């Protein structure tokens, strides 16, 4: 309990305080009040970017500390325009509470959000106060939305003989472009998640706010055997209007959506994984990474891979918009085991029509990477090469080389703390085996340096620590990316990604 006094005239005589247990406190100057909750004000930041641009902020997870930290908000970026600031802690991504989620899942939610991203954040000071006071941050987030506010629903409805979609549509009187729904009891629409008096927001990705009733009915008739509708109840819609927040498909809870992504766990066999990764141009004009030439009886076929599947993620990291070489390096760095998330071309077209990434609702499809049977790993104790991918910074790649004159080998003599080399897993004493795919085992120092400089802003090094290099050399096994089982990352107190 805390005692506070109201301001009064300094010339007033002090009043005598008496306490009567039957009447309570009779001193009009003295009040007793419960300690109020700290004044925490979560902020909504709506980020809108153009195609091909990023949102303009760095997302970091600090080891041993709670929270997902916003850093390096770029000037004039979508992040800065939305009011996002360095040090903000993210509570929600697209109305999903993420403070208690793994960093990699939060990153994927941001990456899969499309051209608009909604963040609920606390300032650094407010977040630390909340943690110290033991405040329930999830309850704080719910309070921001208001009592009884539910997220919109994205419902996939399939026609049935004799009943169709099982759905009636009515215009809201006096409100142009606004409609409410009345599903038939136990019909296809109701089973798909549509509730009585839901407000209709979109049909197959097309917003209905500018459609006349007749145009809307024509769309439903032309939609074929199935339709996807975005709906919300009236009370929740008012909450979004109060917060001046658009109701985006990314906010939705899904019901009955088809074309689910597949998660494939592959263990490399004697002939590799048994598939080919190709970058191809789809009929829509989009560039995609397709899985081709799946070998019979291969690990890829056994895992359920089909020719023509689109690759969405490698080990839970979205790669839809990544360069082909980067994806290949990610798969190689996985060693003998890799987890791929894929979808059919029909599935990709379905989500494109809805204006969503197939990974938007990824939790169902990208579980924790499985523990593979230990007997799939080689039984020998040979050291394992590492494939390290570095990105040039203002000061370079963050490492220095030296040459062993007696053995004609190039090795890393220094790795700068906190820079690209260390983050990629490079260590002092590593012998350079390949530079951007070219073997340099017996090349002179000057040629290796030239190859690194010609590589541009990205550098891929195949390395083995000098102690293990000798053992591999004596074994007679060629040191290639195919025998690279692990890409070791040096211990780091932080992880970050620019989005």
Q: Copy the structure tokens of residue 233.
A: 């109840």
**Any domain includes 462:** yes
166 vs 82, 186, 217, 321, 463, CA distance in Å?
41, 9, 14, 39, 62
The CATH number covering residue 281 comes to: 2.30.42.10
50 and 133 share one domain: yes
Place of tokens 């002092």: 428
| Tens of pLDDT, residue by residue, the chain (499 residues) | 333 333 344 334 444 444 454 444 444 444 444 443 457 889 999 999 887 788 999 888 776 677 899 988 999 999 999 999 999 999 999 998 989 888 888 888 888 888 899 999 999 999 999 988 889 998 898 888 887 788 899 999 999 898 888 999 999 888 888 999 999 988 888 888 889 999 999 998 889 888 888 888 888 888 888 899 999 999 999 999 988 889 988 888 888 788 888 888 888 888 888 889 888 887 777 788 899 988 988 888 888 898 889 999 888 888 887 888 888 888 888 888 898 999 988 888 888 888 888 887 665 444 444 333 333 333 345 567 888 888 888 888 888 887 765 566 888 888 887 788 888 888 888 889 888 888 888 788 888 888 888 877 888 888 888 767 777 776 666 676 544 333 333 333 333 444 5
Contact 180, 208 (CB under 8 A): no
pLDDT at 430: 86
Place of tokens 């400089």: 453
**Any domain includes 175:** yes
The pTM assigned to this predicted structure is 0.61
340 and 356 share one domain: yes
316 and 277 share one domain: yes
**Any domain includes 497:** no
| Residue finishing a domain among 231, 255, 279 | 255
Which residues form the domain of 49? 43-145
pLDDT at 407: 62
**Any domain includes 29:** no
Ordered DSSP codes for 293-345: -PPTTSHHHHHT--TTPEEEEETTEE-TTS-HHHHHHHHHHTTTEEEEEEE-H
140 and 170 share one domain: no
251 and 273 share one domain: no
**Any domain includes 199:** yes
344 and 423 share one domain: no
Q: Which of 267, 294, 277 lies closest to 370 in space, CA to CA?
A: 267
**Any domain includes 22:** no
| Residue finishing a domain among 197, 226, 255 | 255
83 and 102 share one domain: yes
What is the H or E stretch that residue 137 is in?
Answer: helix 137-145
pLDDT at 480: 64
174 and 201 share one domain: yes
Total domains, the chain? 4
**What pairs with residue 462 in β-bridges?**
387, 434
């Amino acid at each position: 309990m805390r005692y506070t006094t109201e301001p009064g005239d300094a010339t007033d005589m002090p009043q005598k305080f008496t306490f009567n247990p039957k009447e309570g406190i009779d001193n009009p100057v003295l009040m007793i009040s419960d300690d109020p909750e700290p004044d925490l004000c979560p902020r909504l930041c709506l980020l809108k970017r153009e195609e091909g641009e990023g949102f303009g902020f760095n997302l970091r997870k600090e080891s041993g500390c709670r929270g997902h930290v916003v850093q390096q908000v770029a000037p004039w970026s979508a992040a800065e325009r939305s009011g996002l600031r360095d040090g903000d802690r993210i509570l929600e991504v697209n109305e999903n509470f993420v403070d208690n989620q793994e960093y990699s899942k939060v990153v994927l939610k941001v990456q899969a959000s499309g051209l608009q991203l909604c963040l609920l954040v606390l300032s650094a000071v407010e977040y630390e106060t909340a943690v110290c006071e033991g405040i329930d941050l999830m309850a704080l987030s719910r309070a921001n939305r208001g009592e009884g506010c539910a997220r919109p629903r994205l419902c996939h409805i399939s026609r049935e003989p004799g009943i169709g979609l099982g759905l009636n549509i009515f215009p809201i009187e006096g409100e142009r472009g606004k409609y409410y729904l009345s599903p038939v009891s136990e019909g296809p629409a109701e089973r798909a998640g549509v509730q009585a008096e839901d407000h209709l927001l979109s049909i197959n990705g097309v917003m209905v706010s500018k459609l006349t009733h007749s145009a809307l009915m024509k769309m439903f008739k032309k939609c074929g055997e199935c339709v996807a509708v975005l709906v919300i109840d009236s009370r929740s819609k008012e909450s979004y209007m109060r917060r001046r927040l658009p109701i985006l498909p990314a906010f939705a809870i899904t019901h009955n959506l088809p074309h689910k992504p597949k998660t494939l766990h592959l263990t490399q066999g004697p002939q590799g994984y048994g598939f080919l990764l190709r970058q191809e141009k789809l009929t829509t004009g989009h560039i995609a990474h397709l899985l081709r030439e799946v070998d019979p009886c291969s690990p890829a076929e056994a895992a359920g891979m089909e020719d023509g599947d689109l690759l969405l993620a490698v080990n839970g990291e979205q790669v839809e918009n990544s360069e082909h070489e980067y994806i290949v390096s990610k798969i190689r760095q996985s060693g003998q085991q890799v987890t791929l998330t894929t979808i059919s071309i029909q599935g990709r077209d379905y989500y494109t029509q809805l204006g969503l990434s197939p990974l938007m609702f990824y939790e169902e499809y990208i579980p924790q990477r499985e523990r593979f049977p230990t007997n799939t790993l080689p039984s020998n104790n040979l050291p394992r090469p590492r494939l390290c991918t570095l990105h040039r910074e203002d000061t370079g790649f963050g490492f220095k080389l030296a040459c062993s004159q007696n053995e004609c080998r190039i090795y890393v003599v220094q790795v700068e703390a906190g820079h690209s080399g260390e983050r990629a897993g490079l260590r002092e004493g590593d012998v350079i085996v390949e530079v951007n795919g070219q073997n340099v085992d017996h090349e002179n120092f000057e040629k290796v340096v030239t190859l690194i400089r010609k590589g541009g802003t990205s550098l891929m090094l195949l390395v083995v620590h000098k102690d293990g290099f000798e053992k591999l050399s004596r074994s007679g096994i060629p040191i290639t990316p195919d025998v690279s089982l692990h890409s070791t990352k040096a211990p780091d107190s932080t992880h970050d990604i620019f989005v």
